[in-house]
């Protein structure tokens, strides 16, 4: 079965430092992987996705993610964190019927 | 371009009452999804429509939940009767429905069952 895991419930990073939010996947075949962000009392906003091609995917708000097949990972990264990046981040994998299975989420706090 | 619209934004009901949520997807999106997000968890798919047909409702508690998308555009999700454990945010999303296509989410309806 297609699934993803987010091993960290909480990530804290100082403003201006690089940030990483981890995601690992378990799929058969080639995965379609997504990252979404959720701000308080808001729906999910799409950040980026990996379908095929270049393993480094660039997305919204300066975020990027690297697809690593050997490590079955799709970690979200940003070179320099902003306080406004503080939010809940979800990794997801697309399943056969083209719906999404979400991870449990990682709360990112950027400390001024 | 208008996004996915949902109403109401908030709803408080007592257990055993019924409630309905409405969603209007992005224009031209054939596929519509309803997800349930319980506090502290990731969204979980309840039902997926392709136009007005059901593609996946395997995780919908059919004894109390129902959903329809009669004209292939907007959709209604109903809970009857509600239980305490139904307290959650109900998210609607839409997409073009092809493999790899991005799903776009509405703001959600926050339901509290007392």
Full pLDDT tens readout for chain A, 112 residues = 789 999 999 999 999 999 999 999 998 888 999 999 999 878 899 999 999 889 999 999 999 999 999 999 999 999 999 999 999 999 999 987 788 999 999 999 999 9
Domain CATH for A30 = 2.60.40.10
**Distance (Å) from the alpha carbon of A108 to chain B's nearest alpha carbon:** 14
State the architecture of B5-108 in CATH terms: Sandwich (2.60)
Residue A112 lies in a domain: no
Is B25 within 8 Å of chain A by CB? no
What distance in Å separates the CA atoms of residue A85 and residue A108, rounded to the nearest whole number? Answer: 7
Domain housing A41: 3-100
Nearest-by-CA chain A residue for B107: A43
Compare CB distances from A105 to B42, B45, B56 and report the shortest one's residue: B42
Residue A67 lies in a domain: yes
pLDDT at B1: 64
Residue B84 in this model has a pLDDT that exceeds 80: yes
Under 8 Å between Cβ of A105 and A81: no
Is B57 within 8 Å of chain A by CB? no
> Which residues are registered as beta bridge partners of A62?
none
Lowest mean pLDDT among A40-44, A67-71, B77-81, B92-96: A40-44
Under 8 Å between Cβ of A65 and A10: no
Interface with A, mutate which of B4, B25, B99, B103 (most A CBs under 10 A) = B103
**Distance (Å) from the alpha carbon of B64 to chain A's nearest alpha carbon:** 22
**Distance (Å) from the alpha carbon of B30 to chain A's nearest alpha carbon:** 12
In 10 A of CB B55, how many CB atoms?
16
Q: Report how many domains make up chain A.
A: 1
């Amino acid at each position: 079965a297609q699934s993803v895991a987010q091993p960290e419930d909480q990530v804290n990073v100082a403003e201006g430092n690089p940030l990483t939010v981890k995601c690992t996947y378990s799929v058969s075949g080639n995965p379609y992987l997504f990252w979404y962000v959720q701000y308080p009392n808001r729906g999910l906003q799409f950040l980026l996705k990996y379908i095929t091609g270049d393993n480094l995917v660039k997305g919204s708000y300066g975020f990027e993610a690297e697809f690593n097949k050997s490590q079955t990972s799709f970690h979200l990264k940003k070179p320099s964190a902003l306080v406004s990046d503080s939010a809940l981040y979800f990794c997801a994998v697309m399943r056969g019927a083209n719906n999404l299975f979400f991870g449990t989420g990682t709360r990112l706090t950027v400390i001024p | 371009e208008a996004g996915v619209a949902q109403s109401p934004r908030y709803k408080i009901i007592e257990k055993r009452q019924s409630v309905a949520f409405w969603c209007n997807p992005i224009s031209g999106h054939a596929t519509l999804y309803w997800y349930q997000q319980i506090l502290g968890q990731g969204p979980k798919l309840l039902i997926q429509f392709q136009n007005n047909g059901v593609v996946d409702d395997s995780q919908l508690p059919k004894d109390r939940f129902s959903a329809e998308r009669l004209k292939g555009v907007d959709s209604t999700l109903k809970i009857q009767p509600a239980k305490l454990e139904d307290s959650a945010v109900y998210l609607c999303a839409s997409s073009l429905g092809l493999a790899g296509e991005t799903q776009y989410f509405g703001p959600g309806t926050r339901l509290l069952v007392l």
